[in-house]
Amino acid sequence: MDELKGKLVKYLGNAEPAFSEITVLCEGGEKVRDTALRYFSDAKHFYELGEYVNAFAALEYAEGWLDAGVVLGVVSAEGKSPDDF
């Protein structure tokens, strides 16, 4: 469990800049941004509760929403580019 916790600390820290700098670019972007931020908030909440598997799941959903939004061009985020995918 300590290994999982350590990875979560790293992954949550690495994701923080992208989730603190999401810009809505067009219609539909608000939904993507809000959903990604809710999942990211859930990930941090689950981490604080010691529910590391749920924290990872929520973080992956958050990253998926954010990445999809960047690829579709409805949001931009720090450190993310459509060319990354």
Structure tokens at 10: 């790293």
Q: What is the pLDDT of residue 79?
A: 85
Domains and CATH numbers, the chain: 2-75 (1.20.1270.90)
To the question of pTM greater than 0.85 for the whole model, the response is yes
pLDDT at 34 over 90: yes
Q: What is the pLDDT of residue 1?
A: 75
Of 57, 67, 48, 66, the closest CA to residue 9 belongs to: 48
Q: What is the mean pLDDT of the chain?
A: 94
Q: Which residues contact 54 (CB under 8 A, 6 or more apart)?
A: 42, 46
